[in-house]
Amino acid sequence: MIISNDFRLQFYEELRKDHILIIVNADVDALCATAILTHLFSCDEVTYTLIPVNSIEGLKSTIKIHGKQTKNIILMNCVGSNSLLGFELPSNVNFWIIESRRPIHLDNIFNVDSIKVLTESSELPEWNVPDANSIYEQEEQSGSESGEDEEEEGENLFSDGEEGEENGGVEELLDENDQQSHQDERNSSIIKRRGKRKQLADIIASRTLKRQRRTQWKRARGTILWEYYLKSWYAPPISVFMLELAHELGKSSAEIMWCSAVGISSQFIDQIICVEKYTDICADRMKPFILKFGPRQGALTDQNRNHLTVSFKEDLILPLYSRWTLYESMLNESHFICESKLWSQRGEDKFKEILAKIGLTLAECRQNFEVIKKDRRLEIFKIIKEYLNKTFASFNTNFGFNSTYNAVDFARILTIRLEWNQSDKPDSELSRRFESTNEILREFFKTGGRELPPLKHSVELYKMALKSLNELVKRSIAQKHVVLMSRFFLLSLSDQCSMLGLLSSRHFLFLFFSFSIACLCFHESNLTWNQTFHSCFSFAG
């Protein structure tokens, strides 16, 4: 069942009555949405249990183990296009689906007993949900029973006809005096047999017509399902939905807005939404909160010096450039990698030529960007913006005189902490990673944006991982690991690659695909791009 309005009464107030189980996917958007929801629960003293998962198998086992302990289960970004009816669901439990992946399975949409799908009403026209009667056969059982009755009736009619013929033979043995009376009976019997045969023919015709209609219905149903599930896309992040719910409850704050901004940015850096959709979400749904929690005009005072404000302003699409040297940040950005063909022997020399061409010296590029004088920083900002020819804006934190953070970079920091499993234990470390990532977010608010050791460590870890990933891409192109096979490209990496474990992270896997395709386009510019890109990895364990 779809719930598309009045979320306060139909969702939140229903949950406050009992203990709640929250099952959340291991992605940054879901983590930020969960942080907002658990904050709301804490304000209203609602008890809950939080369990992270990263696969459908993990979701099934969690529901099986913990499902009977509660009456309400919230599923945050962990269902996707799967049907919950295929799971082993406990009875008398309501499932609340909050999901950004589309399309939603029709079984979850049309189930009115225990499954609720939460979405904005403005999004429903994009779904093109078909009519339930065109997908589900409402009277399938009664139809089969009537078919059986018709078969029995037809058999009875056929047997009656045979009995009538046998009776006709017996009549010849009767006396002549009884001939006349039995002749009348015989005529009436013949009329009855003809009527029954006509009725039998009608039953057979009706049965044939029903089979034809059922065949046509199945064919039409297959076409409808094909068109519904043909396209897949991502809706606005669920952290934005939670921000709007908090605002409806009168509990919105700059901290909650920042969580939502990080959730949007995580979708952008994972390249599951384009920059146009990212901008539309920020302009349409985040604008009221930008006006409410943005920095006020005037100087800082002692009262608001440690107060968080969130601004939305123009920025550069360079990874961690404010906490890195400009040289390293540009060297690990896909546009500069492709323009200078860094996988070739003269790649870095060509990169330096590009820097000289646009008016940047090596000395200032090798400095930390924040160390450069403010006037020169503004000039460099303008130079790179004009060279990239891309318009981009991002959210930034302002904690008094503390250093600011970009929401896109903050999403990268949380991603490396949450998704990259550096141990040999695949799933046992998931809860620890989820909790440590959540702790970084909480401490960031508590300390007023100060860079504590876990945050600094995650920044350095992301730098190292991004450099390793780009080296993997450049080596794949230079050593021709990408080969043309029939109608598609195949990229194969051996299991001896030291940084192959990075690709277990969704973020780095998507980055690897994106960088590889972009570099291949520059490297093989004479190819006609009607092929599909495939990859083959060998993971240990």
> Rounded to whole angstroms, how far apart are CA atoms 385 and 391?
8
Task: Give the pLDDT confidence score for residue 433 in this predicted structure.
Answer: 92
Q: What is the pTM of this model?
A: 0.85
- β-bridge mates for residue 2, sequence order: 117
Provide the residue-wise pLDDT of the chain in tens; the chain has 541 residues. 999 999 999 999 999 888 999 999 999 999 999 999 999 999 999 999 999 999 999 999 999 999 888 999 999 999 988 999 989 899 899 999 999 999 999 999 999 889 999 999 999 999 999 998 888 876 444 444 445 555 555 555 555 544 444 454 444 544 555 666 666 666 677 777 777 777 778 788 888 888 888 899 999 999 999 999 999 999 999 999 999 999 999 999 999 999 999 999 999 999 999 999 999 999 999 999 999 998 876 545 545 566 888 999 999 989 999 899 999 999 999 999 999 999 888 989 999 999 999 999 999 999 888 888 989 999 999 999 999 888 889 999 987 666 788 999 999 999 999 998 876 555 568 999 999 999 999 999 988 777 788 899 999 999 999 999 999 998 888 888 888 777 788 888 776 566 777 888 899 999 998 898 888 887 776 455 455 555 555 443 3
Q: Residue 533 corresponds to which amino acid?
A: F
Query: Which sign, positive or negative, has the C-alpha torsion 282, 288, 291, 292?
Result: negative
Task: Give the pLDDT confidence score for residue 492 in this predicted structure.
Answer: 82
Residue 354 neighbours by CB under 8 Å, 6+ apart: 336, 339, 340
**Beta strand spans in 377-531 (E):** 393-399, 482-485, 488-492
| Maximum CA extent, the chain | 132
**Beta strand spans in 349-500 (E):** 393-399, 482-485, 488-492
Task: Give the pLDDT confidence score for residue 538 in this predicted structure.
Answer: 46
Q: How far is CA 359 from CA 120, 385, 502, in A?
A: 48, 13, 35
Task: Give the pLDDT confidence score for residue 140 in this predicted structure.
Answer: 46
Residue 537 neighbours by CB under 8 Å, 6+ apart: 493, 500, 503
> Rounded to whole angstroms, how far apart are CA atoms 35 and 45?
15
The CA-CA-CA angle for residues 72, 62, 73, to 5°, reads: 10
**Beta strand spans in 358-476 (E):** 393-399
> Rounded to whole angstroms, how far apart are CA atoms 131 and 103?
15
